[in-house]
Amino acid sequence: MAGLVVERVLHHLSTLPDQPIGRYASRATLEGMLREPPPEQGQSLDAVLARFDAQIAPNACHVSHPRFLAFVPGAPTLASVLGDWLCAGHNFFAGVWLESSACAQVELVVLDWFRDMLGMPASTGGILTSGGSEANLTALVVARDRLPFADRGRFVLYASRERHSSIDRAANVVGLSPAQVRLVEIDAAHRLDVADLRRRIATDRAAGLLPWLLVGNAGTTSTGAVDPLGDLADLCRDEGIWLHLDGAYGWAAVLDPEGRRTLAGVERADSITLDPHKWLAQPFEIGCLLVRDGSLLPATFAIRPDYLLDTAPEIDQVNFADHSIALTRRFRALKVWLSMQVLGLTWFRQNVTRCLALARYAEGALVRAGFEILSPASLSVVCFRAAYAGADAAVDRANLDLAEAVRRSQEAFIASTRIGGRVALRLCFVNWQTTVADVDRVVGLMRRLADEMKSDALARE
Ligand SMILES: Cc1ncc(COP(=O)(O)O)c(C=O)c1O
């Protein structure tokens, strides 16, 4: 029985570059196909898989496809998928040492790998999470836990205008009012403007508020910009502010010598979010939070109710359930550990270096094809647009239409963002299967579609 699923997955992974990327269907269509009460009696897996093949798989996109270049994609290797399968099949309970000591040990090892890649000190501890959003939230909870209850209404969080939305969500969840969040200006390269930050901190102190936490970007989602991390670390040290870095997308660039230089200062964070399910080729879901003073994690989260008395760890044991909000948690470290053992770190280094080069190559190919670059390759993101003659709104609309036309082709998948208020199209390279030929194909496709749409866009002006 299992063979049916294994065969499907192996076939899927080995043919992925030649498959259409996929599409979405209307809610009405999917309701018609899939709405039903749970069947009272079971049926053969064959029959159920036939429905998976006909109704589910074709109506979803393959974000691991080498020409899926929107958002921040994810593209696991077979080794990491196998690690995930082993994890699900064994159903280890990776919450407490008593039940899964070796799983906790592997998680400790994997966290230390990440710590060492970033160059953080031995005091660093961490937790593997569902993703970057949970890691960012966990960081804010840990940092907030240090604050006296009486003053919590006066603490202020700073983040650049380019922060990821999970920061806003986390700020809300930890109970900050909008008046306690400052959005700092950015410079021409979309990096946090340190002078504006200094001004805002001084203004807040003068008003009797308590500057508390700064979120720096180690690779923004929109443009791949890296904030001046060393300057931010200096300022946070001088001002006594907690420095949290969001490296969910960009952190893996430390595996490349040039990327490491771009991320100089990352090792000085009080806490940092990383997403192995982005650029470390792991299947969803695996994020990670590292905290410079690792003892703060259990200090924030550990609770020992009566029914868990037996699970109290010895001094040198770690209950990862004490490091964040989840008690029951899967053995996420296994897929990283297994794929690192099978492929070796060099494979991951080369993938990062290749993706950085692909972004630079894409920038050149876009210029040659007549696209306007709005943000040059930064880490592995490049932003651009088709330059139509016409009013701003019409050009914005035409570029949104272009992205939609690319998606409809199912040959490639791209999406938009805004840069300086204008619609920009965006390519993000993290996929180990994406090649130069894929870049040429996507750029060629966009050029052809943009030319076809040109007359349309102008006609609607
Ligand atoms: C910079 C950044 N931070 C946080 C996140 C959220 O991570 P996740 O989607 O894993 O929750 C993302 C997702 O793209 C991101 O790019």
> What whole-number distance in Å separates Cα of residue 408 and Cα of residue 423?
19
Q: How many domains does the chain have?
A: 2
Amino acid at 413: F
Query: Of 28, 53, 74, which residue sits at a domain end?
Result: 74
- Which pLDDT does position 455 carry in this prediction? 59
Kindly report the protein residue whose alpha carbon is nearest to atom 7 of ligand 1. 132
| Count of Cβ atoms closer than 10 Å to residue 44 Cβ | 10
Helix (H, G, I), strand (E, B) or coil at 119: coil
Spacing, Cα 343 to ligand 1 middle (Å): 25
* Residues 186 and 161 sit within 8 Å (Cβ to Cβ): yes
- Which pLDDT does position 456 carry in this prediction? 63
- Which pLDDT does position 404 carry in this prediction? 98
> DSSP labels for 24-92?
---HHHHHHHH--PPPSS---HHHHHHHIIIIIGGGS--TTSTTB-SSS-----HHHHHHHHHHHHHT-
Closest CA to 83 of 124, 135, 19, 128: 128
CATH number of the domain within which 70 lies: 1.20.1340
Spacing, Cα 26 to ligand 1 middle (Å): 27
**183 in a domain, yes or no?**
no
CATH number of the domain within which 414 lies: 3.90.1150.170
Closest CA to 9 of 69, 55, 57: 57
Low-confidence ranges of the chain (pLDDT < 70): 455-461
The structure tokens listed for 125 are 């501890």
**162 in a domain, yes or no?**
no
| Ligand 1 binding pocket includes 166 (Cβ within 6 Å) | yes
- Which pLDDT does position 162 carry in this prediction? 98
* Residues 219 and 226 sit within 8 Å (Cβ to Cβ): yes
Spacing, Cα 81 to ligand 1 middle (Å): 21
The structure tokens listed for 392 are 């701003």
| Ligand 1 binding pocket includes 250 (Cβ within 6 Å) | no
Ligand 1: residue of 127, 160, 166, 380 to mutate (most ligand atoms within 8 A of CB) is: 166
**353 in a domain, yes or no?**
yes
> What whole-number distance in Å separates Cα of residue 84 and Cα of residue 13?
15
| Ligand 1 binding pocket includes 287 (Cβ within 6 Å) | yes
Query: Of 28, 47, 74, which residue sits at a domain end?
Result: 74
- Which pLDDT does position 1 carry in this prediction? 86
> What whole-number distance in Å separates Cα of residue 103 and Cα of residue 63?
29
| Ligand 1 binding pocket includes 138 (Cβ within 6 Å) | no
Q: Domain of 386? A: 345-459
Bond from prior residue into 285 cis (ω within 30 degrees of 0):
yes
Is residue 408 classed exposed, middle or buried when 0-12, 13-18 and 19+ CB atoms within 10 A define those classes?
A: exposed
User: Which atom of ligand 1 sits closest to the CA of residue 71?
Assistant: 14
**16 in a domain, yes or no?**
yes
Query: Of 74, 98, 119, which residue sits at a domain end?
Result: 74
**241 in a domain, yes or no?**
no
The structure tokens listed for 393 are 């709104």
**418 in a domain, yes or no?**
yes
Spacing, Cα 247 to ligand 1 middle (Å): 8
| Ligand 1 binding pocket includes 162 (Cβ within 6 Å) | no
Q: Which single residue is written with the structure tokens 């031995």?
A: 122
Closest CA to 438 of 62, 73, 65, 72: 65
**288 in a domain, yes or no?**
no
Ligand 1: residue of 133, 192, 245, 278 to mutate (most ligand atoms within 8 A of CB) is: 133
User: Which atom of ligand 1 sits closest to the CA of residue 284?
Assistant: 10
| Ligand 1 binding pocket includes 133 (Cβ within 6 Å) | yes
**107 in a domain, yes or no?**
no
Is residue 297 classed exposed, middle or buried when 0-12, 13-18 and 19+ CB atoms within 10 A define those classes?
A: buried
Q: Which residues contact 430 (CB under 8 A, 6 or more apart)?
A: 72, 73, 74, 75, 249, 252, 278, 279, 281, 355, 380
Q: Which single residue is written with the structure tokens 């049926």?
A: 43
